Structures are given as structure tokens and as C-alpha cells.
Amino acid sequence: MAIFNNRLSELDDAIAHATSYKEYTEACLEHDELSGAQEWKEKDPCRDYDYRLIRKRVQRMQLAQSQDDISGLMSILHEGLHGNLGNIASPVLRTQCKIGTKVLIERFIEQVKKALDAIYNADEKEVDFYEKLHFFEETSHAFGRSCLMLSGGAGLGFFHAGVVKSLNEHKVLPTVISGASAGSIIAAMLATRTHDELLECMDPQFIHETFNGWRTWQGFNKKGLFDPRTLENALIKLFDVITFEEAFERTGRHVTVTVSPADLHQHSRLLNAKTSPNAIITQAVRASCAVPVIFNPVQLRAKNAKGDIIPYIPNRRFADGSLMADLPFERLARLYGVNHSIVSQTNPLAVPFLSTERTDPTTLRSMMWRHIGDLAKRNGIFAFDVLEQLVPGKGSKLALHKCRSIIDQQYVGDINILPENHLRNVGKILANPTLEGISNLIEQGEKATWSQLDAIERNTKISETLRSYLKQLKQREARMLKGVKLREVG
């Protein structure tokens, strides 16, 4: 027993200090084998998910596919396919092992993918093209999709680069992305860079050369304590005058930048190719990074039909996106059909109180602490509402309104990727970045993502397969319609 315990301790250390994802997975798999977790994975029964339902679905899909029954496969998938069928996406299932989950769940996901492959490739003498198109449209809409949300965090935001680098290299990067404050810089890179170009942009040397010296003191008698010109020049160099619509046409990614109003009677805005196609990304990011007191608020810009640069939402200025919309999940859900979130969270107001696993309380003590936390949040919101009504002056009311917004937000998602909670990270929040500091944060981001990669792959495999086939079918439909029009003209 002592030998096994010593080996498990050695493997824990190997997992914590792995220098590559390959090393990490090998150590995790050996740990699961020795600890008994592998045996747990191979047994179907478990009270944390409906294994009977999942097993029956697998059997039905296998039978339909063995009989080449495409209509039957479509019916099986139509009747109840969603991301958490039978509670298979529960975070509790991931606490039993270092990597992976129940073999039955992995078999189910793989069987669904095989079923979608069979439907897409089915002979169109049996399954009409438009029947396929309708199936993938309906099923894709009903199933939903994942999003990646990059929080604010000032100088800690370079952690997001490591997260994105890891997701990009393993080809599990969602196509719906939001960024607030520092997160908006990395989000804008995703909006404007292809897969290969991102590899270069996420390099520590490139980031250091671009953002070195962003913190330049300009004094107390200005609208902001720091001179924004270095940051503005870096953003112009990165994004020029590309609009959200132009960026989407280039990369196909649905990227949102959040900004907060600099006055009382406005709500936060989500700037993207749907809501503000002609808005210029550079100004949107500059506004989202305008932390109050640190940088002055910003006037947004857009391109008109002639390509001229004009004011966007004239007479209004905008500031730090994380103040009111650090993680705008509900609005992304309305815009893009998102129902699952991956969060890279570096906000210094939130990180010390968060856990990577969003699990429901299972003991009386944990339920009590959750209830106390909810009460404290509600009471804090109520107190700021009362104070906002009592204090005179627009500036005081605006400050209280922003503080209320910070308390009222949700700072976690379904999967949460967090930096190490080290005191040394605090010093990086408003410091000029060093090459060593950036390298360290990117490395932290990569390593923090490793433990979530297998869950992200499971949660995105079906939705990405659905959307990939739907995209191909729509492209084919466009070519067919174009051919019809050409024949009509002829």
C-alpha cells in the first residue's frame, strides 16, 4: 500500500510539473490506472448520470446504423439530443478521475458523431438534399453551441493568450468568443487572425514587443492617470481599421467586444458583426480597456458605405467592458444560440473566490455557504440601489452604479480556467509587462487549460460536427442556386 501511495504522490507531482500536454496525459492515465479511477470509468452504473438512458441510446443508434436506417437515425437524434442528456456533462463526473470520464459517455458521443457522418453522407436517392439540410438546421439550433469568454484583468490578461494558444493547437477553439477589457485584446486577435497566424500572435516575444510600455504615467490633472497613446498605437498596429463584419468574413469567428457606458442612462453594449457590423475593432478594444481613472473613456468609430471613418453612437463615450459585462453569457445565448460556456477568468476581483469546477453543493455546510453568499450579494445590490438614490451629483451616482454592476455579475461558466492564485500575479495587474512575466502568464494559461481539454473536446465535438456539416450543406445550396440562376439567364 505504501508503494502505491508513494507512486501516486510521484504522479501527482508529475502532473503538476508536466512540461507538455503529452507528459500531462500520460501521468494522468497512469494515476487513474493505479488509483482505481480507470475501473470506475469502465463501469456504466453511477448515480450521477442516467446510464440506462445513455446505454439505450447507444444501442438504438448502433442498430439503426447497422441496418443502414438513416431515417431511424435522424428520428433518434431528433427526439432528444442535447448537450447534457442524462446529466452526462455534470462536473461531478470529472471529480472521480484525473482525465476522461465514463467510457459509456465517450462511446455515446462517438456514436452520435458516427450517426451524423452517416446522415451527411447518405445516398440522396433515399434522403433528399433538403431533408438533410433541414435536419442539420433544426438539430444544430436545438443542440446549441459553446462559447469562450475572456474576462478583464489588466496586465493579467496575457494569461488568456496561453489559454487560446492551447485551445487553438488542439483544434477545440469555439467560434463564438467574447472579450472584456484585457480579454478584448485577445478576442480581437481571434477575430482578425487565422489559425496559423494565431500561432505567431500568441508568442511571448511578439506580445512583449507590441505592448511593452503601455503604462506611461501622465499625472493627476488629466482625464486618466496613464497616457493611452502607447496602447492605442499597439492596437492600431494590430487591427488597423478593420470592422467587425470584415473580420468575420476573414476568419468566420463570431467575436464580441464588450464596452460600458461612461454615463448613467445607458446599458453595456456588445459590439460584434451582428449588432455593430461597421464598428471599428481598434476603437472598440480601446474603449473596453479604458479602466476608469487609469484611462480616459473613448468615442467609438465606424466605417460608412464609402469607407470613411465616422463617429459611432455620436456624443457618447465608453469605458471598461468588464465593469458591466465581464462575461455576457445570456446575451451571447440570444445572439448565437450558446448554451455552454468556457471561461478564462483573470479578473482580480473574482479569481480569489472561484473554483475551476462549477459543482452544486452536496452537503448542508456547502448549501449554507452558498445561501449566505447569495444573501450577501443581494444585500450588497440593495445597498448600492439605496445609496444611488440618496447621493447627489451625477459623478457619485455613476460610480455607485458601476460598483453595483460589479457585484451583480456572474464571473463563472460551465468550464473555468483560472491562473495560479499567487501574490506575485497581483504585481502584474498595472505593471509594464516584461518578457519573463508574459512568458510566465502564457505558460500558466496553457497548463491551466490542459486539465480542461478533454472536457472541452467532449462538450464541443457534437456541436462542431453539426455546424461543420450545416456549413457545407449551405455552401452547396448556394452553388446550386447560383447554377439555377445562370441557367435561367442563359
Closest CA to 258 of 322, 347, 190: 322
181 as an active site residue: the answer is yes
For residue 226, what pLDDT is reported? 75
For residue 363, what pLDDT is reported? 65
- Beta-strand relationship, 145-150 and 338-344: parallel
Tell me how far CA of residue 279 lies from CA of 291, 304, 364, in angstroms.
21, 9, 50
For residue 325, what pLDDT is reported? 78
Mark the ranges of the chain whose per-residue pLDDT is less than 50: 1
Q: On the CB side of 88, how many CA atoms lie within 13 Å of its CA?
A: 27
For residue 406, what pLDDT is reported? 63
Closest CA to 165 of 344, 22, 325, 285: 344
CATH of domain 146-358+412-440: 3.40.1090.10
Name, in order, each residue with C-beta under 8 angstroms of 380's C-beta and a sequence gap of 6 or more.
Answer: 404, 407
pTM over 0.75: yes
405 as an active site residue: the answer is no
Q: Dihedral, CA atoms, 306, 311, 314, 315, nearest 10 degrees?
A: -160
Other CB atoms within 10 A of residue 5 CB:
10
Which residue out of 166, 178, 288, 320 is catalytically annotated? 320
Burial class (CB in 10 A: 0-12, 13-18, 19+), 486: exposed
pLDDT tens-digit profile of 358-384? 555 556 776 676 667 667 667 766 675
Name, in order, each residue with C-beta under 8 angstroms of 431's C-beta and a sequence gap of 6 or more.
Answer: 155, 215, 437
pLDDT tens-digit profile of 241-253? 999 999 999 999 9
Residue type for position 54: I
What three-state secondary structure class fits 278? coil
For residue 4, what pLDDT is reported? 65
For residue 91, what pLDDT is reported? 85
Which grid cell sits at 338? 450558446
Share of the chain above pLDDT 70, in %: 82
Which residue out of 181, 344, 405, 439 is catalytically annotated? 181
For residue 448, what pLDDT is reported? 94
Domain ranges of the chain: 1-144+454-478, 146-358+412-440, 367-404
Please measure the distance between the N-terminal and C-terminal CA atoms of the chain and give it in whole angstroms: 82
For residue 266, what pLDDT is reported? 66
